[in-house]
Amino acid sequence: MKARLDTLIGRVTMYNLIVLVLAALLVIAIVAGALGQLFYTPLQLVLSAAVAVVATGAASWLLARLFRTRAHLPSSAITGLIIVFVFMPTADPAGLALIALTGVVAAASKFLLAFRGRHILNPVAAAAVVMSVTGLFPSAWWVATPVLLPFVAIGAFLVLWRTRKLSLGLTFVVVAGAITVGRIVLTGTAFPDALVLAFGSFPIVFLAGFMLSEPLTLPPRRWQQLLVAVVVAVPFSIPFTIGSVYSTPEIALVIGNVVAFAFGQRRAVRLRFAGSRALTPTTAAFDFEPLAPVPFRAGQYLELSLPHRRADSRGARRMFSITTPPPAGPHAVAPVSLGVKLSRPSSSFKQALTTLAPGTTVQATWVGGDFLLPSDVSVPLVLAAGGIGVTPFVSQLAERAGRGSTGDVVLIYSASAPDELAYADEIAATGIRVLVIAPDRPDELPPGWEYLGPARLTADVARAAIPDLASRRTFVSGPPGYVDHVSAQLRTAGARGVRTDAFAGY
């Protein structure tokens, strides 16, 4: 089921999925308005949405030209659509002008409220604070209504699932919901009524799914993200007043953004393309030289931004695991290499990537991830990789080798063909035991490598090949279908504490 969901929603990029979900919510709101279930008419909703999206997109494009960069139009569309749900829809020209101004402020925040090329605040939250504090156009958060709640919840789940931020969203929903319900109960309201009031009248679910989860304003590690969720939930749920400023959802989110920025990569990641090299008939390594230190942990990934003409539905940003070991220190500059599957037909992004000229400077928008091996090399491990899913392990094994010992590691490496074992030389150099699964036996296998056969891994095969499997920590990486199957078989064979990294929408 998980693999099917990953495959289904992985057909579109994260940004396009959010655009589609928000657009669907808008259509549902328009229908509800036509049926008299909302205070706003279809005309108000349509005009407000059109103005918000156009104003935000136009402002983003103009500001990008001014700052000599390129606007990311899917991101601008998301910002414009969220504005529709946060501010009061209207058909009045003066009100539409304020919605347009809100879109401009939101777009401007990405460029003006930035540090070394990286924006700090969620653009809609920043615009809402500016428009509310100045009294020009206070936020309304009308999306928090019982009529839309089931649809918002479904949309938020899809977004959080696709972005691997379900734990983040649930943490915020549970903490904010518990505090809000408790506060309402203390006023004398019965618990069931308080529950309905909290989730039907406060934008708990919407903020969790569509704003708190924005990758560019989140810290890189999972525990840091969960902490930010709690930090946002507390001021979101407990009313406060400081002078003339009173608590609002946007102020709570801005507080969390500031805390997240303190944890995260605080500068834009700029990389100079050094060249590419073939790994297998269908995979290649793309090598980059950072223009400034890029701190990361072995096993983490970056989101590469590659604006290009006639981008298809897959968009201009893609996440790739880093295959090189981390830099030696916080101020060291080390090469960054990405392993890429070059399928046919290829997406417009990968076509642009394969035609990059050496010396071209590109940008990565985010570095993060929690698919990390134990720091203690004495812990025995089983690693399972499906195809290009081997990439995080390449970085991790290289780092361990650089520290003097890879430890007791067994790698189960599944490939679609005998000549599709990417990074075979790099893995062989670490000296670990490797178990190969491929349709045919490779002609030559490095010392310490064994051929398990052509069939998919089963629990019986895993137990026979790795008798002490139950005593090892297990990590599985690859396409969703592979990850679901292999992790289930390894658990059946006795593996415990299985960590997974599914390459959805790769």
**pLDDT tens for residues 188-204?**
999 999 999 999 999 99
450 with 361, same domain? no
- Calculate what percentage of the chain has a pLDDT beyond 90: 72
CATH code of the domain in which 290 resides: 2.40.30.10
CATH number at 409 reads: 3.40.50.80
Q: What is the pLDDT of residue 444?
A: 85
Q: Give the span between the Cα atoms of 21 and 15, in whole angstroms.
A: 10
- For residue 407, the enclosing domain spans 381-502
Does 311 lie in the same domain as 431? no
Report pLDDT digits (tens) over 411-467. Answer: 999 999 999 999 999 999 999 999 999 999 998 899 889 999 999 999 999 999 999
Query: What are the tokens at 345?
Result: 């037909």
Specify whether the CB–CB gap between 81 and 26 falls below 8 A. Answer: yes
212 and 305 together in one domain: no
Q: Are residues 331 and 388 both part of a single domain?
A: no
Q: Which residue among 219, 247, 263 closes a domain?
A: 263
**3-state class percentages of the chain: helix first, strand second, coil last, to nearest 5:** 45, 15, 35
Residue 506 pLDDT greater than 70, yes or no:
no
Tens-place pLDDT, residues 348-364: 889 999 999 999 999 88
**Between 388 and 246, the higher pLDDT residue:** 388
Token digits of residue 335? 């090469």
Q: Are residues 409 and 393 in the same domain?
A: yes
Residue 404 carries which DSSP code? Answer: T
Instruction: Say whether both 311 and 259 belong to one domain.
Output: no
Region label for 94, one of left (φ > 0), alpha (ψ between -120 and 50) or beta (otherwise): alpha
177 and 58 share one domain: yes
Candidates 297, 501, 490; CA nearest to 386 is 501
- Per-residue pLDDT band at 213 (split at 50, 70, 90): very high
Residue 251, pLDDT score: 96
For 297-338, the pLDDT digits (tens) are 999 999 898 887 777 767 778 889 999 999 987 778 889 999
Q: Is residue 375 part of a domain?
A: no
Task: Give the model's pLDDT for residue 115.
Answer: 72
pLDDT at 264: 65
How much is the average pLDDT of 279-287?
Answer: 95
Q: Which residues pair with 322 in a beta bridge?
A: 338
3-state secondary structure 407-464: CCEEEEEECCCCCCCCCHHHHHHHCCEEEEECCCCCCCCCCCEEEEECCCCCHHHHHH
Whole-number pLDDT of residue 215 = 83
> Residue 275 has what pLDDT?
95
* Number of folded domains that form the chain: 3
How far is 423 from 377, CA to CA, in rounded Å? Answer: 22
* Residue 378: Cβ-neighbour burial (10 angstroms; 0-12, 13-18, 19+): exposed
Write down which residue in 208, 239, 263 finishes a domain.
Answer: 263
Confidence band, pLDDT 50/70/90 cuts, at residue 267:
low
User: Is the pLDDT reported for residue 375 higher than 80?
Assistant: yes
150 shares a domain with 60: yes
- CA–CA distance, 213 with 17 (Å, rounded to integer): 13
Cα separation, 347 vs 351, whole angstroms: 6
* The pLDDT of residue 103 is above 60: yes
Instruction: Tell me what the pLDDT averaged over the chain comes to.
Output: 91
CA–CA distances in Å: residue 2 to residues 62, 102, 139, 162, 480: 41, 39, 37, 11, 8
Check whether 255 has a pLDDT greater than 70.
Answer: yes
Instruction: Find the mean pLDDT for residues 256-267.
Output: 80
335, 459: one domain? no
Same domain (yes/no): 476, 343: no
Residue 5: the pLDDT is 74
pLDDT tens per residue, range 155-196: 999 999 988 899 999 999 999 999 999 999 999 999 999 999
Nearest partner of 123 among 153, 166, 79, 87, judged by Cα: 79
Whether 376 is in a domain gets the answer no
- Residue where one domain finishes, among candidates 368, 396, 413: 368
For residue 71, pLDDT over 90 is answered with: no
400 occurs within a structural domain: yes
Residues 292 and 435 in one domain: no
Q: Does 458 share its domain with 350? A: no
Q: Kindly indicate the confidence band of residue 116, based on its pLDDT and cuts at 50, 70 and 90.
A: low
SS3 at position 235: helix
